Amino acid sequence: MSAPLTSLPPEENAELALSVERAYREAEVLDRLEALWALILAKCFVLQWAIDAYALPVRGLLYVWTLTFAMAVLATALYLRAHRLRLRLLPWRARVSSALLAGLLVGLGGLAYAHGARDLLPAGAAAAGACVLLGNAALVRAALLGGPEPLVGALLWWAAAWQAGRDAEGRALLWVGLGFLLAQALPGFARLARRRREQRV
């Protein structure tokens, strides 16, 4: 009797094929979340800049940041639950990624504290430092993941840092927001599109 026609791999390789497909889908879900969160942060920074620049009668902390983050966290939890994934804030199995994420959070937190709480840094310098840190993180991701998108993101982050450092203090938040849009979100979506094309080939 001839074997039935099927697109599934042989039985001994089926488990390996399913594991590879599951790992690919998890990476795709997390990459999409990263790009979407970059869009969310870009929106928050640009709106906060507009509120400050045009003296809009809007409480940015409540209506821009708190509400946005509350809805985004809820949507992220539902999205991960729909895909049956657990969010790993610190992927301990990948030591380099863990060190990168922890160092980035500490560095950004230190800049925010130095500018907001201690008034040790002007807004432009704090924004430029944040963009440099995010650009360095993108460069490390380019070395780890490969592909041109993280490298392009690193270059755009450094360009945003240069602009934030030399521009007026009032536009510091604008450059950070543009960095999240142009250097983080768009390269992330480009990477997703490229991986989909590669999967179809």
pLDDT (tens digit per residue) in 159-180 = 999 999 999 999 999 999 999 9
Tokens 């969160």 found at: 37
Q: Rounded mean pLDDT of 77-105? A: 74
CA 197 – CA 192 distance, rounded (Å)? 9
**Residue 182 confidence (pLDDT):** 98
Say if CB 46 and CB 174 are below 8 A apart: yes
CA 44 – CA 35 distance, rounded (Å)? 14
pTM score, whole prediction: 0.86
Q: Is the pLDDT of residue 7 over 70?
A: no
> Lowest-pLDDT range, 25-29, 59-63, 65-69, 73-77?
25-29
Query: Which stretches within 83-185 are classed as H helix?
Result: 95-112, 123-145, 148-166, 172-179
Q: Rounded mean pLDDT of 70-95? A: 77
Give the pLDDT band (50/70/90) at residue 92.
very low
Q: Is the pLDDT of residue 3 over 80?
A: no
